């Protein structure tokens, strides 16, 4: 399991980097957040209040090193400070309330996009030279479309014009949150358009990526050999070609996760979906630095965990990574 | 073929950004009485809520969107070249540190980081937005360039250069860099797409300079002006379409280059064995 141990080590290092970045950015940017706040309030602030704000941000006259240790200590106890937007709620509570919505929406949409996109890419490579090649220009176009613009177009067509789907909130006003079929139905109904947005905007990358690797794989000798043996074309396509083509594809998928998450933040905002993307914007708009920092940290850690899951899938699919000797 | 179509799209938008504003002459921010009109002979793409001409805004917006995209891709590519080439050539501890740094920036979600950084900016001008986008967007290029440098550094002409006493800096930037120019070019084009998308996202959130007209800020005002609810499709369709078209153009050029490098990727009809 050396492969996994090495990856885990790297993710821990990256998590530390994200935490340190979070600590350093407000301190390295020109002016500190408190000065920025005071400036935006046109200076009508009590010096005692400024002092209190400094303490709330963990900015003090102590050495940078001491501040860093205090910051790490607070983080270890799960203390991210108090949100200014939702004062006096703790940032961790705001995140805990909004994270499940994002995880559900982005998780399901990414999974669908990956499965459908990869299968479609494999099919496109297999049927190269047929009418299916017509999908490629469309995929090239979708590859460059901004997520939020897809969201706007879907809202316009299916929300405002056809009135098929709701265009904001995560569930209807007429249902009570709880483990009831009505609530689940309402949640799924409200998540439909945001999920379609993420799937549509992120699938093109998976299609093009899988097609390109698969086309290269199809020229390999073992694929020709499998055909020569008289295996069914379905078996050759999935068990021989696709199975090998999927390995580099998983790596590129893991690397694209950050991009998908970024797009999902914008998608949530268009749909006023109560996930952490919407909260991040609220935080930035209200100069709510503790909230911004907390959310960036959580998003980063979530992407790292997802990357590690992709590594696990890689280990399952590629026996070479399971060998102890290198 | 792909390269030609892609280059055609890019030339179109480049001409629009360069020659459009002086040709049109109108002020993109100028308001008029004719608010929220659909496309007509007078306003080809209709008008906004305050009667601004959308075609004029698109033409001026091309300058900002392309400008920010090119500027931050340029900064990001310089970073990528320095980190990738130096790491790949020097090797050892320097390479380890630079690789880890690259991989960290590769994994961290760029847009949330850009949003957070933009949140701390005292002024969100065009230049500072470009820098913020570049800081988060160099890692992919650096990774690709490092891998290429590793293969180039073993070649004979590098050995010869070293034997003839050239310094490491000279080897990296005068011997290796020219060989990698095609790779640098594709990585630059891909970074431009990402930067244009990032700028559009940031402006759409209202976190970039809203006093300059860009395609992203047009979408911000369309969203906040309830363009969707009013049914003013001509207001939000054109800016997004332009972003997607530029991205398509850049991607086509890049895919075209890929196909030259790897002929199997081409879509031409190949004589096929019967796969029943």
Query: What pLDDT, on a 0 to 100 scale, did the predictor assign at position A286?
Result: 81
* Cβ-based burial of B54 (10 A; exposed 0-12, middle 13-18, buried ≥19): buried
Q: Is the pLDDT of residue B269 over 70?
A: no
Q: How far apart, in Å, are the Cα atoms of A242 and each of A220, A233, A248?
A: 12, 12, 11
Q: Which residue of A has its CA nearest to B121?
A: A29
Mean pLDDT of A19-33: 75
Lowest-pLDDT range of A158-162, B79-83, B249-253, B259-263: B259-263
The HSE-up count of residue B39 (CA atoms within 13 Å, CB side) is: 9
Pick from B82, B59, B276: nearest CA to B177? B82
The reply to whether residue B268 touches residue A129, judged by beta carbons under 8 angstroms, is yes
Rounded distance between C-alpha atoms, residue B138 and residue B79, angstroms = 6
Average pLDDT over every residue of B181-189: 85
Residues 247-306 of A with CB under 8 A from B: 255, 257-259, 261-263, 265-266, 269-270, 280-281, 283-285, 287, 289, 292-293, 295-296, 299-300, 303-304
The pLDDT of residue B254 is above 50: yes
Strand partners, B47: B53
CA distances from A294 to A12, A60, B135, B210 (A): 18, 20, 21, 27
pLDDT, one tens digit per residue, over A83-138 is 777 777 888 888 888 888 888 888 889 889 999 999 998 888 888 878 887 788 88
More confident residue, B39 or A277: A277
Per the CB < 8 Å rule, is B236 touching A156? yes
Predicted confidence band of residue B80 (pLDDT cuts 50, 70, 90): very high
Question: Which residues does A87 contact at the CB level (< 8 Å), separation at least 6?
Answer: none
Q: Average pLDDT in the A295-316 region?
A: 86
pLDDT confidence tier of residue B75, bands split at 50, 70 and 90: very high
CA distance linking residue B257 with residue B263, whole number of Å: 10
Q: What is the mean pLDDT of chain B?
A: 82
Whether residue B264 and residue A219 make contact (CB cut-off 8 A), yes or no, is: yes
Contact B241, A186 (CB under 8 A): no
Per-residue b or e along A156-187, where b marks 16 or more CB atoms closer than 10 Å to that residue's CB: bebbbeeeebbbeebbeeeeeeeeeeeeeebb
Say if residue B80 is preceded by a cis peptide, omega within 30 of 0: no
What ipTM describes this predicted complex? 0.81
Which chain A residues are closer than 8 Å to B109 by Cβ?
257-259, 261-262, 299-300, 303
For residue A152, the distance in angstroms to the closest alpha carbon of chain B comes to: 7
Distance between CA atoms of residues A212 and A216, nearest Å? 7
Residues B137-178: pLDDT tens digits?
A: 888 888 888 888 888 888 888 888 888 888 888 888 888 888
| Chain A residues inside the 8 Å CB shell of B112 | 261-262, 265, 280, 295-296, 299-300
- DSSP string for B195-247: HHHHHHHHHHTT-S-TTS--HHHHHHHHHHTTHHHHT-HHHHHHHHHHHHHHH
Residue-wise pLDDT tens digits, A205-224: 888 888 888 888 888 888 88
User: Is the distance from CB of A261 to CB of A303 less than 8 angstroms?
Assistant: yes
- Separation in Å, CA A156 to CA A164, A166, A271, A312, B200: 11, 11, 12, 40, 19
Distance CA B109, CA A102 (A): 15
Q: Where are the domains of chain B?
A: 2-27+54-275
In this structure, of A29-33, A240-244, A319-323, B15-19, the range with the lowest mean pLDDT score is A29-33
The terminus-to-terminus CA distance of chain A in angstroms comes to 11
| CA gap B13, B242 in Å, rounded | 9
Higher pLDDT, B48 or B191: B191
> With an 8 Å Cβ cutoff, is B123 touching chain A?
no
Query: What is the predicted pLDDT for the residue at B276?
Result: 40
Q: A4 near B94, Cβ under 8 Å?
A: no
Distance CA(B246)–CA(B242), nearest Å, equals 6
Check B240 against A152: CB less than 8 A apart: yes
Q: What CATH code would you report for B2-27+54-275?
A: 1.10.3720.10
Q: What distance in Å separates residue A130's CA from the closest CA in chain B?
A: 8
Touching A: B residues 7-66, CB under 8 Å: none
Looking at residue B270, its pLDDT comes to: 52
Q: List chain B residues with CB under 8 Å of A263.
A: 111
Q: How far is B80 from chain A (nearest CA, A)?
A: 17
SS (H, E, C) chain A: CHHHHHHHHHHHHHHHHHHHHHHHHHHHCCCCHHHHHHHHCCCCCCHHHHHHHHHHHCCCCCCHHHHHHHHHHHHHCCCCCECCCCCCCEHHHHHHHHHHHHHHHHHHHHHHHHHHHHHHHHHHHHCCCCHHHHHHHHHHHHHCCCHHHHHHHHHHHHHHHCCCCCCCCCCCCCCCCCCCHHHHHHHHHHHHHHHHHHHHHHHHHHHHHHHHHHHHHHCCHHHHHHHHCCCCHHHHHHHHHHHHHHHHHHHHHHHHHHHHHHHHHHHHHHCCCCCHHHHHHHHHHCCCHHHHHHHHHHHHHHHHHHHHHHHHHHHHHCHHHHCCCC
Interchain proximity B265–A292, CB inside 8 Å: no
- Which of B108, B246, B252 lies at the smallest CB-CB distance from A18? B108
Q: Is A248 exposed, middle or buried (0-12, 13-18, 19+ CB in 10 A)?
A: middle
* N- to C-terminal Cα separation, chain B: 31
Stretch B9-28: mean pLDDT: 81
Mutate which: A21, A99, A127, A152, vs B, most B CBs within 10 A: A152
DSSP state of B174: I
For residue B77, pLDDT over 90 is answered with yes
Q: How confident is the model at residue B76 (pLDDT cuts 50, 70, 90)?
A: very high
Contact A216 B120 (CB under 8 A): no
Residue position matching structure tokens 């698109």: B58
In this prediction the pTM is 0.84
């Amino acid at each position: 399991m050396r492969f996994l141990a090495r990856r885990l080590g790297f993710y821990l290092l990256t998590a530390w980097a994200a935490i340190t970045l979070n600590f350093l950015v407000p301190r390295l940017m020109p002016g500190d957040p408190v000065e920025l706040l005071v400036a935006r309030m046109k200076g009508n602030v009590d010096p005692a209040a400024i002092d209190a704000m400094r303490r709330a941000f963990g900015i003090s006259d102590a050495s940078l090193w001491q501040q860093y240790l205090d910051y790490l200590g607070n983080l270890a106890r799960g203390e991210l400070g108090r949100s200014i937007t939702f004062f006096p709620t703790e940032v961790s509570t705001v995140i805990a309330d909004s994270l499940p919505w994002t995880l559900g929406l982005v998780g399901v949409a990414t999974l669908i996009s990956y499965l459908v996109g990869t299968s479609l890419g494999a099919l496109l490579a297999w049927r190269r030279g047929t009418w299916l090649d017509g999908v490629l220009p469309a995929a090239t176009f979708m590859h460059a479309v901004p997520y939020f613009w897809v969201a706007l177009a879907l809202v316009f067509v299916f929300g405002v014009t056809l009135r098929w789907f709701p265009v904001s909130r995560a569930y209807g006003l007429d249902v009570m949150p709880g483990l009831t079929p009505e609530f689940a139905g309402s949640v799924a109904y409200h998540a439909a358009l945001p999920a379609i947005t993420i799937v549509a905007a992120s699938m093109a990358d998976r299609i093009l990526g899988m097609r390109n690797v698969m086309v290269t794989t199809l020229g390999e000798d073992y694929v020709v050999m499998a055909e020569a043996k008289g295996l069914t074309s379905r078996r050759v396509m999935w068990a021989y070609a696709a199975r090998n083509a999927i390995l580099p594809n998983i790596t590129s998928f893991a690397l694209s996760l950050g991009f998908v998450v970024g797009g999902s933040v914008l998608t949530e905002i268009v749909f006023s979906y109560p996930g952490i993307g919407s909260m991040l914007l609220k935080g930035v708009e209200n100069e709510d630095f503790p909230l911004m920092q907390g959310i960036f940290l959580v998003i980063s850690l979530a992407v790292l965990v997802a990357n590690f899951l992709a590594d696990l899938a890689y280990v399952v699919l590629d026996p070479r990574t399971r060998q102890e000797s290198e | 073929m792909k390269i030609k179509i892609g280059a055609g799209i890019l030339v179109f938008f480049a001409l629009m950004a360069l020659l459009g504003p002086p040709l049109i002459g109108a002020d993109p921010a100028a308001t008029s009485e004719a608010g929220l009109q659909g496309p007509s002979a007078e306003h080809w793409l209709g008008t906004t809520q305050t009667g601004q001409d959308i075609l004029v805004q698109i033409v001026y917006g091309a300058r900002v969107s392309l400008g920010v995209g090119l500027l931050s891709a340029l900064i990001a590519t310089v970073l990528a070249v320095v980190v990738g080439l130096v790491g790949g050539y020097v090797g050892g501890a320097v390479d380890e540190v630079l690789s880890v740094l690259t991989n960290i920036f590769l994994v961290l979600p760029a847009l949330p980081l850009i949003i957070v950084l933009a949140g701390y900016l005292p002024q969100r001008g065009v230049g500072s937005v470009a820098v913020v986008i570049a800081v988060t967007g160099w890692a992919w290029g650096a990774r690709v360039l490092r891998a290429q440098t590793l293969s180039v550094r073993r070649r004979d002409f590098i050995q010869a250069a070293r034997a003839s006493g050239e310094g490491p800096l000279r080897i990296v930037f005068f011997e290796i860099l020219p060989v990698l120019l095609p790779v640098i070019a594709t990585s630059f084009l891909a970074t431009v797409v990402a930067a244009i998308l990032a700028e559009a996202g940031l402006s759409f959130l209202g976190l970039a300079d809203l006093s300059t007209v860009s395609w992203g800020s047009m979408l911000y005002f369309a969203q906040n002006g309830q363009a969707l609810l009013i049914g003013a499709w001509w207001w939000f369709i054109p800016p997004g379409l332009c972003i997607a078209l530029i991205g398509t153009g850049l991607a086509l050029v890049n895919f075209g280059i890929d196909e030259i490098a790897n002929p199997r990727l081409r879509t031409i009809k190949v004589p096929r064995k019967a796969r029943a």
